[in-house]
Amino acid sequence: MSDPIRLEIDGAVAIVTLARPEKLNALDEAMIAGLAAAVEAIEGHGGIRAAILTGEGKGFCAGGDIAAWGRLSPLEMGQGWVRNGHLVFDRLTRLRVPLVAALNGHTLGGGLELAATADFRIGEVQAKFGLPETGIGMVPGWSGTQRLVARFGAGVVRRLALVGEIVTAERALQLGLIDELAETGGALELARALCAKIAARGPVATILAKQMINAAEGEDAAAAMEILAGSLVSYTADLKEGVASFAEKRTPQFKGF
């Protein structure tokens, strides 16, 4: 059995592919674990400047696999399935480098929540978008009522989650669910072109700009503030003096710069 999540490094761009096409890339425990592993690998690779998230086959992601969660106990559902998905989706959102979602087909439920972790979304014309969970007695569980509201607005999410509207790619573009429209089979190419533009820019400035934008959206604002403060103070002579005085067991002589 092949891995349900594939990671390819192409120069400065990482490509993460959902590879369970026979299930329209519906997410199960193995795929959640694979996404976590892909995040670890990207974060540990200093040469990566942008990343792409896409699906294999005719769909991007049909959401959470009902066979994976349908028989879970309440505790298993809350503390396992929902919590683990949140942890991984949060890490994708806060990925160090910009993330582009190439939505090559239907993007539904957990698939739309996954797409929302990206900084940019490119949808192919044949794709459909929606949050169908309430139609089977479930609620969006991986930040469909939280991150999606922050990024797309409560009015849009109400139509998707409460009414159950499934929208076309053209309508998704109008609603702001996607940023760009691609012809069938063209999303990945457009995503690569966008990543090439990102990779050509100052890598440190890009990383910091993404962190500040995330903070403005309420994504890990406390960590972003401490990251910026820690980076700034690391340039100071006072820090070098403090470290040296500690090693030499003497009183530091700070100069205030």
* Residues 98 and 174 both lie in one domain: yes
- How many domains does the structure of the chain reveal? 2
* Residues 128 and 235 both lie in one domain: no
**Nearest alpha carbon to residue 134 among 109, 169, 168, 107:** 109
* Residues 24 and 123 both lie in one domain: yes
Going residue by residue through the chain, which has 257 residues, state the pLDDT in tens, using 9 for 90 and above.
468 999 999 999 999 999 999 999 999 999 999 999 999 999 999 999 999 999 999 999 999 887 888 787 888 777 877 888 889 999 999 999 999 999 999 999 999 999 999 999 999 999 999 999 999 888 898 888 999 999 999 999 999 999 999 999 999 999 999 999 999 999 999 999 999 999 999 999 999 999 999 999 888 777 778 777 888 888 899 889 889 998 999 999 999 89
Read off the pLDDT of residues 101-118 as tens digits, 9 standing for 90 and up: 999 999 999 999 999 999
Please give the positions annotated as active site: 113, 133
In a domain, 127, yes or no: yes
pTM of the model: 0.91
Q: Please, what is the angle between helix 221-233 and helix 203-216, to 10°?
A: 140
**Nearest alpha carbon to residue 140 among 82, 183, 99:** 82
CATH of the domain at 143: 3.90.226.10
Q: What is the pLDDT of residue 1?
A: 43
In a domain, 240, yes or no: yes
Residue 13 and residue 199 in contact, taking contact as beta carbons nearer than 8 Å: yes
* Residues 19 and 101 both lie in one domain: yes
In a domain, 149, yes or no: yes
CA dihedral 68, 35, 89, 169 (to 10 degrees): -80
Q: What is the pLDDT of residue 209?
A: 94
Q: What is the Cα–Cα distance from 108 to 62, expressed in whole angstroms? A: 5
Q: What is the pLDDT of residue 9?
A: 97
* Residues 123 and 214 both lie in one domain: no
Q: What is the pLDDT of residue 2?
A: 63
**Nearest alpha carbon to residue 47 among 7, 9, 92, 12:** 12
| Residue type (1 letter), 171 | R
Return phi, psi of residue 87, to 5°. -60, -45
Q: What is the pLDDT of residue 27?
A: 93
Q: Domain span at residue 207?
A: 203-248
Read off the pLDDT of residues 18-27 as tens digits, 9 standing for 90 and up: 999 999 999 9
In a domain, 257, yes or no: no
CA distance between the termini of the chain: 58
Q: What is the pLDDT of residue 163?
A: 96
**Nearest alpha carbon to residue 13 among 52, 62, 39:** 52
In a domain, 253, yes or no: no
